[in-house]
Amino acid sequence: MTAEAGADRVFITGASSGIGAALAREYAARGAILGLVARRGEVLGALSASLPHPERHRSYAVDVLDHAALAAAAQDFMAAAGGADIVIACAGISHGTLTERPEDLAVFEAVFATNVNATVATFAPFVAPMKAQSGMRRLVAIGSVAGVRGMRGAGAYCASKAAVHAYCESLRLELKSSGIRVVTIAPGYIDTPMTRNNRFPMPFLMPAGRFAAAAVRAIARGDSYRVLPWQMGFVAKLLRALPNSVFDFLFARAPTKPRKEAA
């Protein structure tokens, strides 16, 4: 596992598809050393093999809900790469939920376990080693514009992403004096397998590759919070500013996300 001097060492969860895979391709094209984490080992291996200089990268077939295995992958990557410069918690799931349906409580728990708890578990093994390093150091969480306001039928997903945003604000303050930058990237609608399940219009839909290029630039700058595409940043500010009465009137009949089918 070797790379040119000065190459970024980047650890990405949820790397087998969607935004995670797009970020892996973008960083690999820039000469980075990658540690790629996802449950689907075969898909992850195929992605790694397709990247430039596959010998630089390490793949870990790990479920982010297995925090011990995730920490072991983090330690292995840092040992092999000599540290980590950028850690991206990208693993996430989305399902429509209804509080009145008892079976959806388990879905709420699964969404929070993957989107929130696994973000904390992803960052935890890297904080102390990063404090001992110099140079660029980034902890990056993939939030969502959905975390700005709660949407009908999407309580679990919206609440989980709002929690990610708030958690990153807290972590940013905790690490302010360490030189580690905490970056929250809040995607709008990005063309991925997750959004293709949506049954409603998706304004400003952004190709995953273009999103990844813009995200990498924001991460390099150390932006504390960045909405992509930029148009959705304007929409997010407008939604946040709406009085509750106006927001409720506009969105009370909005289409809902598909619920997870019972097994």
Look at residues 96, 99, 74, 102 and name the one whose alpha carbon lies nearest to residue 87: 74
- DSSP, collapsed to helix, strand or coil, labels residue 99 as coil
Q: How many CB atoms lie within 10 A of CB 46?
A: 12
Q: Is 157 annotated in the active site? A: yes
Look up residue 42 and give its amino acid: E
Helical (H) or strand (E) element with 41: helix 41-50
Helical (H) or strand (E) element with 107: helix 104-112
Look at residues 83, 74, 25 and name the one whose alpha carbon lies nearest to residue 53: 25
The rounded radius of gyration (Å) of the Cα atoms in the chain is 18
Task: Say which of 60, 157, 167, 189 is annotated catalytic.
Answer: 157
- Report, as residue numbers or ranges, the catalytic residues: 157
